[in-house]
Amino acid sequence: MERILEVTDLHVTFTTYGGTVQAVRGVNFHLDRGETLAIVGESGCGKSVTSNAIMRLIPDPPGKITKGNIIFKGQDLTAYSEKKMRAIRGVDISMIFQDPMTALNPTLTIGTQLMEGLKEHKKITGAQAKQKAVEMMDLVGIPNPEERLKQYPHQFSGGMRQRIVIAIALICDPDLLIADEPTTALDVTIQAQILELFSTIQERTGVSIILITHDLGVVAKIADRIIVMYAGKIIESGSKRDIFYRPEHPYTQGLLNSVPRLDAKEELKPIAGTPPDLFSPPKGCPFTARCPFAMEVCDKVYPVSERISDSHQVDCWLQDERAKRLMAAEVLQT
Amino acid sequence: MKHMLKYILKRLLIMVITLWVIITLTFILMINIPGSPFNSDQSSNETVQANLEAHYNLDQPYYIQYLLYIKSIVTFDFGPSIKQPNQTVNDLLSRGFPISFELGIITIVLAVISGILVGIIAALRHNGFLDYLTMGIAVLGISIPNFILATLLIQQLAVNLEIFPTATWRSPAHMVLPVLALATGPMAIIARLTRSTMLEVLTQDYIKMAKAKGLSPWKVIFKHALRNALMPVVTIMGTLFAGILTGTFVIEQIFAIPGMGRYFVESINQRDYPVIMGTTVFYSAFLIIMLFIVDVVYGILDPRIKMHQKGGK
């Protein structure tokens, strides 16, 4: 499989009046062609910052990639100039935003917004651009594309707008699509339709997708692999099976326990507490304060990544042999 | 199209009513100011005065006078000036207005273009040196009355450095100082407004989306951001234009520009009734039309504002 993206030791900080926020603190992951990778985690865990970093769309100042590499198709994007980056954006890597109500410019027609990326990057005649736009509208399932190209965003429903946003993102046939909470702002039936659309598009175009979400239902539906982020770090990663059936990190377990289930009789178990302040992130595991299994060491030293299987990896002291022995001993005693 | 026509007709009707209210109020104010056009003429005795009043229909009851005024407005013939012999109000208007209009238009074009540009630059350099510098100057521009600025400009640029002529309205060089004096205030207001709306628009998702498409900064700003940022700016432009066009009086006085402003104020001082009515009606009509144009531009800029529809998103 062709490796599309390799992110190594990515660090992103934001300098504010209050100090420096360490939003992303050493993130490693990779993505193959045609694969869907989900990044999950609660608000402020650094998932959106990571995706913006790949697009190099972090506002600088105050944001800055302080360390690490983003290797896209063999090229390190962190070394790219802004101009070179512009040739990548929208062409090789595209992005879909959370809220389709605000992602489209209210004063320009859908056609203009669809075709402008194409016209910017490819040598193409107006007629060809229009033909491609109609094709894309067809692909994302918007009826009467010819007519609707002339309309403005306010003449479309939320679900339709998200389809248009997806069409805009895909019009230059990118290799990588970053979808930042693409279904969060939509109601459930529309969510399902949009997720369906993602699958169809991936089948047809072979695009790799990074899906950023806090909705585990969405993840279960379309992701191949899952990364769980917490306080700017990846605390667990694995295949969909690994994460859903054998979650090892207490945080991942907590996330899964806080998903409402139709068949469950028990009450939802939210994770108590709040994530740490990233102005001065803790030295040890950032989840310690909220972790029901926290040990003394957790607060002091960050755990080494433990490889559970080829696909499954977790950063947690509970995986340490000594912890396992000790726990067993404790259980025997009681 | 039918809706559009209906809308325009409705607006025209409202404009006529507005104008009528202005005319009526002006008339009431006018007859209530003490004095008459002939008071200051020491030579005239009572008979002469009575004859003069009869000549200008001032001996008639107020309602007749009022109807006569309305008639003069409908026929757009304001009759002769009382104080400027052998000149009709229309003569004064057709002589003064082109000059005032020229001054006003140059000022507006300068204020709008430079104001918007400065606003954009300040927004893009948010919290940077250029932002603080331009906004600092803008605050000065808003605070300093234009007649103070005018005298300062004359003293420095015309008297001390002798770069520009001090007064009158003959060549482009003559226009520089009055236009500068008049444009600074509106320019500063537009710059500040553009900056703040631009800052707001730049944080919108569709701007991020435009960047994510790989568009050049130029296109992101002028195609995606500016159009949305201009909405509030267009809103205040109607009143700003009115301010410029009517506020020219002081500037016209200082620079001895033979525009309309002079007749406007002199007519009030001299109780030159036909001229008061003529200039007021003219200014009001002009202003009302400007506001109408602003509304139309609004609809063009933002497709969500449909002039013929009620509500809706």
Whether pLDDT at A298 is above 90 = no
- For residue A223, what are the contacts with CB-CB under 8 A and spacing of at least 6? A36, A37, A38, A211, A240
Looking only at the bridges linking them, the beta strands covering A208-213 and A176-180 are parallel
- For residue A224, what are the contacts with CB-CB under 8 A and spacing of at least 6? A35, A36, A37, A239, A240
pLDDT in tens, B66-96: 888 888 888 878 778 877 778 888 888 888 8
Please report the pLDDT score of residue B110 as a whole number: 93
Q: Which chain A residue's Cα is nearest to B226? A: A107
pLDDT in tens, B242-279: 767 766 778 888 888 888 887 878 888 888 888 888 88
Q: Cα–Cα distance between A49 and A44 in angstroms, integer?
A: 9
pLDDT in tens, A166-214: 889 888 888 999 998 888 877 888 888 888 888 888 888 889 999 998 8
Q: Which chain A residue's Cα is nearest to B225? A: A105
Q: What is the band of A273 on the pLDDT scale with cuts at 50, 70, 90?
A: confident
pLDDT in tens, A216-261: 888 888 889 999 998 888 989 999 888 888 888 888 888 888 877 7
- For residue B20, what are the contacts with CB-CB under 8 A and spacing of at least 6? none
Q: What is the band of A38 on the pLDDT scale with cuts at 50, 70, 90?
A: very high
Please report the pLDDT score of residue B311 as a whole number: 40
DSSP H helical ranges for chain B? 2-32, 46-55, 62-74, 89-124, 129-143, 146-153, 172-202, 205-212, 217-219, 226-254, 260-269, 273-301
Starting at the edge strand found earlier in the chain, the sheet holding A63-72 runs A19-32, A3-16, A63-72, A75-76
- Asked if the Cβ–Cβ distance from A168 to B304 is below 8 Å, we say no
pLDDT in tens, B171-216: 888 888 999 999 999 999 999 999 999 999 988 889 988 988 888 8
Looking at residue A64, the DSSP 8-state letter turns out to be: E
Q: Which chain B residues touch A107 with a CB distance below 8 Å?
A: 227-228, 301-303
pLDDT in tens, B93-111: 888 888 888 888 899 899 9
Please report the pLDDT score of residue B196 as a whole number: 93
Looking at residue A22, the DSSP 8-state letter turns out to be: E
Which runs of E-coded beta strand occur in chain A? 3-16, 19-32, 36-40, 63-72, 75-76, 93-96, 176-180, 208-213, 225-230, 233-239, 305-307, 313-315
Whether pLDDT at A314 is above 80 = yes
Which of A97, A109, A121 minimises the CB distance to B205?
A97
- Asked if the Cβ–Cβ distance from B213 to A98 is below 8 Å, we say no
Q: Which chain B residues touch A58 with a CB distance below 8 Å?
A: none
Residue tagged 């999950």 (tokens):
A40
Q: How many CB atoms neighbour CB B162 within 10 A? A: 9
Domains of chain B: 2-74 (no CATH), 93-301 (1.10.3720.10)
Concatenate the DSSP letters of all residues of B228-272 into one string.
HHHHHHHHHHHHHHHHHHHHHHHHHHHTT--SHHHHHHHHHHTT-
Which of A89, A91, A103 minimises the CB distance to B206?
A103
Please report the pLDDT score of residue A330 as a whole number: 63
- Asked if the Cβ–Cβ distance from B216 to A86 is below 8 Å, we say yes
Residue tagged 């998932």 (tokens):
A47
pLDDT in tens, A128-172: 888 889 988 888 888 888 889 889 998 898 888 988 998 898 888
Q: Which chain A residues touch B204 with a CB distance below 8 Å?
A: 102
Residue tagged 């770069």 (tokens):
B163
Q: Which chain A residue's Cα is nearest to B301? A: A107
What amino acid is encoded at A115 in this protein? M
Distance in Å, alpha carbon of B133 to nearest chain A alpha carbon: 20
Helix (H, G, I), strand (E, B) or coil at A68: strand
User: What's the mean pLDDT when you consider all of chain A?
Assistant: 86
- Cβ density class B238-275: b for 16+ within 10 Å, e for less: bebbbbbbbbbbbbbebbebebbbbbbebbbebbbbbb
Q: Cα–Cα distance between A235 and A215 in angstroms, integer?
A: 17
- Asked if the Cβ–Cβ distance from B303 to A89 is below 8 Å, we say no
ipTM of the complex: 0.82
Chain A 122-181, residues with CB within 8 Å of chain B CB atoms: 152, 154, 165, 168-169
Q: B313 at the A interface (CB within 8 A)? A: yes
Which of A87, A107, A165 minimises the CB distance to B228?
A107
- Asked if the Cβ–Cβ distance from A97 to B211 is below 8 Å, we say no
Which of B205, B228, B300, B301 has the highest number of chain A CBs within 10 A, making it the mutation to test binding with A? B205
Please report the pLDDT score of residue B119 as a whole number: 93
Please give the torsion angle defined by the CA atoms of residues B281, B282, B288 and B294, in that order, rounded to the nearest 10 degrees. -170
Please report the pLDDT score of residue B310 as a whole number: 43
Distance in Å, alpha carbon of B213 to nearest chain A alpha carbon: 4
- Asked if the Cβ–Cβ distance from A152 to B303 is below 8 Å, we say yes
Please report the pLDDT score of residue B120 as a whole number: 92
Please report the pLDDT score of residue B2 as a whole number: 67
- For residue A9, what are the contacts with CB-CB under 8 A and spacing of at least 6? A26, A27, A28, A67, A68, A69
Q: Cα–Cα distance between A137 and A156 in angstroms, integer?
A: 13
Q: B227 at the A interface (CB within 8 A)? A: yes
Distance in Å, alpha carbon of B234 to nearest chain A alpha carbon: 15
Please report the pLDDT score of residue B312 as a whole number: 38
Helix (H, G, I), strand (E, B) or coil at A156: coil
Residue tagged 């954006």 (tokens):
A89
Higher-confidence position of B299 and B9: B9
Whether pLDDT at A82 is above 70 = yes
Which of B208, B209, B223, B297 has the highest number of chain A CBs within 10 A, making it the mutation to test binding with A? B209
Whether pLDDT at B139 is above 70 = yes
- Asked if the Cβ–Cβ distance from B214 to A91 is below 8 Å, we say yes
Q: Cα–Cα distance between B56 and B75 in angstroms, integer?
A: 17
Higher-confidence position of A325 and B11: B11
Average pLDDT over residues A292-315: 85
- For residue B88, what are the contacts with CB-CB under 8 A and spacing of at least 6? B77, B78, B79, B80, B81
Distance in Å, alpha carbon of A55 to nearest chain B alpha carbon: 7
Distance in Å, alpha carbon of A120 to nearest chain B alpha carbon: 7
Half-sphere exposure of A183 (CA within 13 A, CB side): 22
- Cβ density class B119-139: b for 16+ within 10 Å, e for less: bbbbbbeeeeeebeebbeebe
Whether pLDDT at B313 is above 60 = no
Q: B304 at the A interface (CB within 8 A)? A: yes
For the whole prediction, is pTM greater than 0.95?
Answer: no
Peptide bond preceding A100 in cis form (omega within 30 of 0): no
Half-sphere exposure of B258 (CA within 13 A, CB side): 8
pLDDT > 70: percent of chain A:
97
Whether pLDDT at A16 is above 90 = no
Please report the pLDDT score of residue B265 as a whole number: 80
Q: How many CB atoms neighbour CB B94 within 10 A? A: 11
- Cβ density class A131-160: b for 16+ within 10 Å, e for less: ebbbebbebbbbeebeebbeebbeebeebb
- In total, the C-beta contacts within 8 angstroms joining chain A to chain B are 75
Q: B125 at the A interface (CB within 8 A)? A: no
Please report the pLDDT score of residue A173 as a whole number: 86
**With left for phi above 0 and alpha for psi between -120 and 50, is residue A94 left, alpha or beta?**
beta
Please report the pLDDT score of residue B41 as a whole number: 56
Q: A58 at the B interface (CB within 8 A)? A: no
* Structure token pair of residue A280: 């001065």
* Structure token pair of residue A158: 């939320």
Q: What is the band of A329 on the pLDDT scale with cuts at 50, 70, 90?
A: low
Helix (H, G, I), strand (E, B) or coil at A131: helix
